[in-house]
Amino acid sequence: MENKNKAVAVAAKEEKALVEYGAESANLAQMLAEEMDGLSLTFDRIKIPAGGGLAYEVPSDDVNNPDTVKEFKAVILYHHPVHTYYKEKYTGGNTPPDCGSMDGKTGIDADGVVNACKECEFGEFGSGDNGVGKACKQKRRLYILRAGEALPNILSLPTGSLGGFSKYIMRLLSKGKKPGMVVTKFALKKEQNSGGINYSQAVLSVDRHLSDDEAAGLLSLSEQMKAFAGKVETVESAEE
């Protein structure tokens, strides 16, 4: 009887999940063509706090008052590297970088000059402030879909979270899973760098696996997001 009850509970959870993830999946091409013609393409952002804070800033129904949560769940639709270089210390706001790359391979500076990231001096260790780290900050941009949403949010993982993210992806791959096949739980922990500065590090873990039907329903959105990613105009800050 106990096993039967567990099976019923799992089935109920999966049925609920089909409503939570993928039920509102959009045809991005059609939606954007109809509603975003002539407008900049962007998505709401989820932000990691500075200074070791343990709460994410997530979009709410009131665009001027985002919510703060210690953790949330979402499906990772697509992710790619983002590099940003500022000649002067970043002071906040939507100031575009002096050079940026949306694939971690080719950077374009403020004058439109194309540079190879692997040959750039600012991508070398020791080029950062006081000879620490890299002057060009490396991030990972994630397009993630929260429950009940039709469009993804953007979460940019700073340098200090990339090691943990890489390990998380490798754990999934070792099980024959890709990030778009599971619901990921996002939390935060406080860490400290070699200079004694506290920072917030993203902690990712598997909440549950998607059913085959559920994953198939999100596959189209994942492919669309991959195609649109290069067109998204979201300034990446140099904050970590």
Instruction: Tell me the per-residue pLDDT of 196-227, one tens digit each, with 9 for 90 and over.
Output: 889 999 999 999 999 887 788 888 888 888 88
Residue 123 lies in a domain: no
**Total number of domains constituting the chain:** 1
Residue 154 lies in a domain: yes
Residue 166 lies in a domain: yes
Residue 10 lies in a domain: yes
Which two three-digit tokens encode residue 13? 């959870």
**Residue 206 burial class via C-beta count within 10 angstroms: exposed 0-12, middle 13-18, buried 19 and up:** middle
Phi-psi region of 208 (alpha: psi -120 to 50; beta: other; left: phi over 0): beta
Residue 48: pLDDT band with limits 50, 70, 90: very high
Residue 35 lies in a domain: yes
Residue 110 lies in a domain: no
Residue 89 lies in a domain: no
pLDDT in tens, 62-95: 888 999 999 999 999 999 999 988 888 776 667 7
Residue 151 lies in a domain: yes
- Measured distance CA(150)–CA(142) in Å, rounded: 16
Map residue 82 onto helix, strand or coil: strand
129 has pLDDT over 70: yes
Domain extent, residue 25, equals: 2-81+139-231
